[in-house]
Amino acid sequence: MAASFQCFVTGTDTEIGKTLISSALLHALAQRGVRAAGMKPIAAGTEMRGGVMHNDDVDSLMAASSVELPMEWVVPYLLREPAAPHWAAAMEDVQIEPAHIRACHARIADVADAVVVEGVGGFRVPLAGDYDSADLAADLGLPVVLVVGLRLGCINHALLTAEAIAARGLKLVGWVANLADPQMRHVEANVQAIKERVQAPLLGFVPRLHVASAANAAEHLNCSLLPGWLG
């Protein structure tokens, strides 16, 4: 049986809250008793703990999920170097195969009711050769949730990303305004400017959280605006 709710979470940049928001979505689903699973197709940057390679994004997604899955399904490509993915892969002589990612995704979608896939970097980050994160989202055929990291310049980044998502024939089903820069000025005016120009619902404004946990972020999201949301 295939998962009935799925999304691909992309962002205006790296380090702007994709993992936090993906984990919040998973947390919200899990709270409602949904069998929810996170996936991070490619993660770059690991540390050894207890003889096992770990990546922070993967750990967060797995912690927020309510289905226990083998780590090699959740993260088909776990690369050591914290670098751009195509480069981190090249450094280890790893060939990123879209078919392998699709196969892992299909296995997860088979055993979970909801799957949240966290993208890699921004929407057009190269993954291998001329294959990039946008191709991956299109390959998986998932509706997209855009996390806008609120900081100076985010309006342009949000609109460019929305345009790129549409150009791939993908559906932007919602966006989240996440306060990436706590010093940002005119926050509301920026959110409003994006709201007026993006044809997808604003799922929530996430302020700077004292504790950036999935549960705390989830409190600021109205996930029921997402088509097909469970619970």
Ligand X SMILES: Nc1ncnc2c1ncn2[C@@H]1O[C@H](COP(=O)(O)OP(=O)(O)O)[C@@H](O)[C@H]1O
What are the residue numbers of the active site? 40
Asked if 146 interacts with ligand X (CB under 6 A), we say no
Asked if 95 interacts with ligand X (CB under 6 A), we say no
Selection from Mg ion, ligand X, none that 178 binds (CB < 5 to 8 A by kind) is ligand X
**Nearer Cβ to Mg ion (6/10):** 10
Asked if 14 interacts with ligand X (CB under 6 A), we say yes
Asked if 119 interacts with ligand X (CB under 6 A), we say no
Asked if 13 interacts with Mg ion (CB under 5 A), we say no
Min dist. Cβ of residue 56 to ligand X (A) = 7
Asked if 57 interacts with Mg ion (CB under 5 A), we say yes
Asked if 19 interacts with Mg ion (CB under 5 A), we say yes
Which span sits near Mg ion by CB under 5 A: 55-63, 71-79, 82-90, 120-128? 55-63
Selection from ligand X, Mg ion, none that 20 binds (CB < 5 to 8 A by kind) is ligand X
Site for ligand X, residues 179 to 218, rule: CB under 6 A: 179, 206, 208-209, 212
Interface residue with Mg ion among 8, 17, 18, 162 (CB under 5 A) is 18
Distance CA 39, CA 61 (A): 7
